[in-house]
Structure 1
Amino acid sequence: MSTLRNFSIKMLAASVLSVLGTSAMADDIHSALSNSKAWAELNLRYETAEEDNALEDASALTLRTRIGFSSGSVNGFSFTAEAEDSRIVLGQDEFTVGPTGFNVGEYSVIADPETTEVDQAFIQYKADKFTGRLGRQVIALDDHRFIGHVGWRQDRQTFDAISAKYNLSDNLELFYSYMYKRNRIFAEAADLDSKDHIVHASYMSKVGKFVGYAYLLEVDNDTDNALDTYGMSYDGKAKGEGVSWAYGGEYAIQSSEAGSGETATDFDASYLNAYVAATISGITAKIDYEILGSDDGLYGFATPLATLHKFNGWADLFLKTPEQGLKDLRVSLSGGLAGGKWLLAYHDFSADESSNGIDDLGSEINAQYTKKFAGKYNFGIKYGTYDSGDTKVDTNRFWMWIGTRF
C-alpha cells in the first residue's frame, strides 16, 4: 500500500510539473501572440515608357498588395511572414516583361509582372547584441548600391538566406549572410539558386561612417562562376555658418570568372564614387561622380544584387553596365515645396574605356515630387528622359503613384 501511495504521489507530482510547464509555455505563446503585429500595404502605380525603336509605347496600371504578420518573442525567437500580390488594374497591360513571357517583343519593358508569392518568411532569434535570421528575408545594405531590395518595382527582391548581425559596440556592427536563393523582381521566372557570401562591417566614428565589405557571389547552376567584390566607403557630415555639408567616397575592386577550359573568361574591374553636397536654406545641391570600370572595353563592373533603378538614371538604360564601363557625372538640386519634396537631376554618361566606336553614352534628366498627406498616404510623380549617345535609344519614362500602409 505504501508503495502504491508513493507511486501515486510521484505521478501526481509529475502531472503537476507537466501542467505547470505546459502553462508556462502557454503563457509564452499567449505573450508572443499578444505582442504580435500585422500590417498591410497598398501601392497603385501608373507607368509609361517610350523608346525610339520599333517597340510599341508601353503603359501599365498595377496594384501591389502586401500583407504581413510578425509574432512577439518567445525566449528570443519570433516569426515573420509576408505575402505579396501584384495585379494589372483596369486592363492597362500594354507592356512587356520578357523573363515571364508576357507580351514578348511587343512593347517597351515595364518590369511589373502579375504575381502572388511569399515575400518574406523567416525565423528570427534576438538576444542582446545579436540578431539571426533564417528563411526568406529582405537584405539591404548601405545605399543599396551593391545589395538591395529593388523596392521600387512592385515585386521587390528578397533572399532565401541565413543572416547574422552582431553589434560589438554602439559604433561597430558586423553582418554576415549566406544567401542560397535570389528571389528577383520577375515573379519566379528569373529566380536564381546561389551560393552568395555577404560580409559587411560598419563603424561610426566622430568624423563619419566607415564601411568595409566583401561580396562573394556565385550562381548555383553547375558551372564554374564567381563574382567577387571587395570595397570600402566613407560618409561624413559637417556644419558651417548657414550651410550643412555632406561628403564621401567609395572604392571597390572586382574579379569575374566564368566557364572552364578554353572558353573560360577572367576579368577585373574597379569601382569609384565621390560626392559632395551642400544644404543652404532648405535647398541641397549635390555633385556625384561614379565610375563603374571596364577591363579593356570587354567587361563592365557589375552590381547584380543592387537596387539599380536608384542609380545611373531613372530611364533604366544602364541596369547592366556596358562592356566599356560607365562614368556618370550627376548634378542634382532638391528641397521642399508645399509640404512635399522635389528633386531635379542631370546625368552625363560616358565610357570608362571606349571600344567599338562607343564613347559617348548619352545624358539624362530626372524630376520628381513626393508628398505625404492625411497622415496615412503617400503620393508621387516622376519623369526621366534620356538622350542617346553612341549607343542606346532616346527614352522617356513617367510614373504616378499613390500608396498607404496600415
Structure 2
Amino acid sequence: MKGKVLSLGAAALLAGGAFLLSGSTNVSNAQDLLGVTFIDNVKPYLEFRPRYEYVDVDKSSNKEANALTIRTKIGVKIGKVLDVPGLSAVLEAIDVSAVIDDYAPQRSGYEKVADPPNTRITQAYLAYSYGNYTFVAGRKYVAIDDHRFIGTVNWRQMPQSLGVIAVAGKPIQGLDFLLAGVYERKFVVDSGNLDWKLDKMPIVLDVNYQVVPNMLRLKGFAYLLTDIHNTYGVKASGKIGLGNGVTVSYLGEYAKQTDPYEKDNYNTKPDIDTDYYRVKVGASAMGFFANVMYTYFGDADGKDKGFSVPLATNHKWDGWSDVMLLGAANGFYYGMKEWCISAGYKNPSIGKLMIAYLKFDSDKDPGTGKSIGSEIDLLYAKKLTKRLSFLAKAAYYNADNGYVYASGNPDSGFTNVTAGTKDVTKYWLQLDYKY
C-alpha cells in the first residue's frame, strides 16, 4: 500500500523483539526452575535503509519507474545458547515497504524494480564452534569470496539467504574450507525461492590456501547445484606492494560447468557442457585506484544453456543497469565476453567516487552481430557519521544487438529469449543507518 512505512509483520517483530530483550517474569522463573540460562550475551542490531530508484527504458511501452522503498532490518546475535560453550545463534527479519510505488510489479504499465513489499525471516541459524571448526544449521547469508558465484545480493532491499547445513574450518595454518549442503534458497523476490530434499541438496565445497600471505592465494571449488548444473573451478589471487604506497592486485579464475549431479524438482536433467574464465589486474596508490577485468561466459554449444551463475550477486559484476542479469543467471546462449575498466578515488573525508565502462559482446554471432551493448556506471558514497552513510549511483546502458538466454526448465524445454536490445537509464539515492 502506498505510503506504508512498516508492515504489520515487522511491527509485530519489533514489538516481540523489545519484549524478549526486556525480559519476562515467566521466562525468568522458568530459567530458575531449569537451572540454566536459555540465552545470554544478546546483542540487537538494526538497519534502516530508504532508497529512491528511477528506471527508464528507451522505446518501452511502460512508464518510467519511480520507487521509494525502505528496508527495515532487526536482528539479534545470541552469544550463548543453553549455557553450552561455543553454541550461538542469530535471528533476523527484514521488512521492505514502499512509500512511492510507481513501479512494477506494484503497478502495471511501469518499469520493473525488484523491491516489492515483503516481510521475511532472513536469518535464523545455530552455530557451534569447537577449536578451529564451526558447524552451522539454519537460514543465513552465504557470501563466498567476491560474490561471483554465490552471494547475498544485498544491493536489493530483500537480500538472498540460503538454508544450509555446513561446516567451516582451518585444519592447518593457511588452509581453510567450507562444506555445505543447501536445502533452500530465499531469493530477492519470492518467485525465485527454491527448496530441495535433504538427500538431494546442492553441495558447496570451497577450499583456500594462502601460499604466500596477501601475495598468493589459491582456491579450488565445486558448486553442485541440484536441478541446475555442476561447477568445478580454480582461482589464484593476490596483492603485491611495490613501495611508496603503490599496490598491484591480480586475479585469475577458471571454471567448468556440466550437467547437475542430481535432480529433485524436475524429472529431467539439463544438458550442459561449457566453461568460464576471468582475469583482473588492478592498482592503487594514495587513494586512487583502477582495475581492468575481462570475463568470459561460455556459450551453450548446441546444448541447453551457456555458463550461468544463478546464486551470484550479478548486480556487482555485470553492470548496475542489470541488463545482463537474465543472461548471467540463466546462461548466455551464444556466450558473452565482458570488458570492464574502472577507476576512482577513495578518501574518508571526501568519500568514494568511481566510474566504470563495460563492453559486452557475444562469443558467437547469433546472426544479428556480436555486439551486445555497452554501459557506463557512476558512483559516489560517503560515510556521514559513525552509523549513517549516503550513496548515489547511476547506470547508463547503450544497447546494440542484445543477447540471447535460455528460459524455461528441463521438463517443459528451454526457449531462447532475446534481451538487452533497448537503452536503459537507472539512478539511485540511498541513506543507510545501522545500529
Q: What range is the shorter-chain TM-score in? A: 0.7 to 0.9
1:212 aligns with 2:220: yes
The worse-fitting range, judged by mean Cα deviation, of 387-396 and 320-329 is 320-329
Q: 1:182 aligns with which of 172, 181, 185?
A: 185
Question: Structure 2 CA distance, aligned partners of 1:197 and 1:37?
Answer: 32
Q: Report the counterpart of residue 326 of structure 2 in structure 1.
A: 320
1:82 aligns with 2:92: yes
Question: Structure 1 CA distance, aligned partners of 2:271 and 2:73?
Answer: 41
Secondary structure of the residue that 1:168 maps to in structure 2?
strand
Q: Report the counterpart of residue 55 of structure 1 in structure 2.
A: 62
Secondary structure of the residue that 1:355 maps to in structure 2?
coil
Correspondence 1:209-358 to 2 at 5 A: 209-218=217-226, 225-242=227-244, 243-256=246-259, 265-296=270-301, 299-321=305-327, 322-336=332-346, 338-358=349-369
Check 1:275–1:24 CA distance in 2 against 1; reply closer, same or farther (3 A cut): farther
Contact 1:300 1:326 in 2 (8 A): no
Secondary structure of the residue that 1:71 maps to in structure 2?
strand
Check 1:25–1:174 CA distance in 2 against 1; reply closer, same or farther (3 A cut): farther
Question: Structure 2 CA distance, aligned partners of 1:276 and 1:235?
Answer: 10
Q: Please, which runs of 5 or more residues in structure 1 have no aligned partner? A: 1-21, 219-224
Secondary structure of the residue that 2:221 maps to in structure 1?
strand
Contact 1:297 1:324 in 2 (8 A): no
1:103 aligns with 2:107: yes
Q: Report the counterpart of residue 432 of structure 2 in structure 1.
A: 403
1:382 aligns with 2:382: no
Q: Report the counterpart of residue 14 of structure 1 in structure 2.
A: none
Question: Structure 1 CA distance, aligned partners of 2:45 and 2:351?
Answer: 25
Question: Structure 1 CA distance, aligned partners of 2:255 and 2:220?
Answer: 10
1:372 aligns with 2:361: no
Cα offset, 1:37, TM superposition: 0.6
Check 1:121–1:295 CA distance in 2 against 1; reply closer, same or farther (3 A cut): same
Question: Structure 2 CA distance, aligned partners of 1:246 and 1:174?
Answer: 23
The aligned amino acid for 1:182 is: R
Cα offset, 1:376, TM superposition: 1.3
Q: 2:202 aligns with which of 196, 199, 203?
A: 196
Cα offset, 1:293, TM superposition: 1.0
Secondary structure of the residue that 2:55 maps to in structure 1?
strand
Q: Report the counterpart of residue 222 of structure 1 in structure 2.
A: none
Secondary structure of the residue that 1:189 maps to in structure 2?
helix
- Cα root mean square deviation, aligned: 1.9
Q: Please, which runs of 5 or more residues in structure 2 have no aligned partner? A: 1-30, 403-419
1:155 aligns with 2:158: yes
The aligned amino acid for 1:276 is: V
Cα offset, 1:282, TM superposition: 2.1
Cα offset, 1:310, TM superposition: 0.3
Q: Report the counterpart of residue 18 of structure 2 in structure 1.
A: none
Question: Structure 1 CA distance, aligned partners of 2:259 and 2:397?
Answer: 30
Question: Structure 2 CA distance, aligned partners of 1:162 and 1:118?
Answer: 17
Check 1:398–1:153 CA distance in 2 against 1; reply closer, same or farther (3 A cut): same
Secondary structure of the residue that 1:320 maps to in structure 2?
helix
Cα deviation digits, residues 150-189 of structure 1 (max 9, x gap):
0000000001111110111231111011111100001x33
Which contiguous aligned blocks of 4+ residues in structure 1 show a shift greater than 3 angstroms?
A: 22-26, 256-261
**How many residues are aligned here?**
366
Q: If the length of structure 2 is used for normalisation, what is the TM-score?
A: 0.80
Question: Structure 1 CA distance, aligned partners of 2:92 and 2:187?
Answer: 16
The aligned amino acid for 1:64 is: R
Contact 1:327 1:351 in 2 (8 A): yes
Report % sequence identity: 32
Cα offset, 1:190, TM superposition: 2.8
Q: 1:29 aligns with which of 37, 48, 52?
A: 37
Cα offset, 1:93, TM superposition: 0.5
Cα offset, 1:103, TM superposition: 3.0
Cα offset, 1:336, TM superposition: 2.2
Cα deviation digits, residues 23-43 of structure 1 (max 9, x gap):
7974x627x42x221111111
Contact 1:367 1:383 in 2 (8 A): yes
Secondary structure of the residue that 2:210 maps to in structure 1?
strand
Q: Report the counterpart of residue 42 of structure 1 in structure 2.
A: 48
Secondary structure of the residue that 2:362 maps to in structure 1?
strand
Cα offset, 1:359, TM superposition: 1.0
Q: Report the counterpart of residue 71 of structure 1 in structure 2.
A: 78
Question: Structure 1 CA distance, aligned partners of 2:385 and 2:307?
Answer: 44
Q: If the length of structure 1 is used for normalisation, what is the TM-score?
A: 0.86
Q: Report the counterpart of residue 19 of structure 1 in structure 2.
A: none
The worse-fitting range, judged by mean Cα deviation, of 66-75 and 80-89 is 66-75
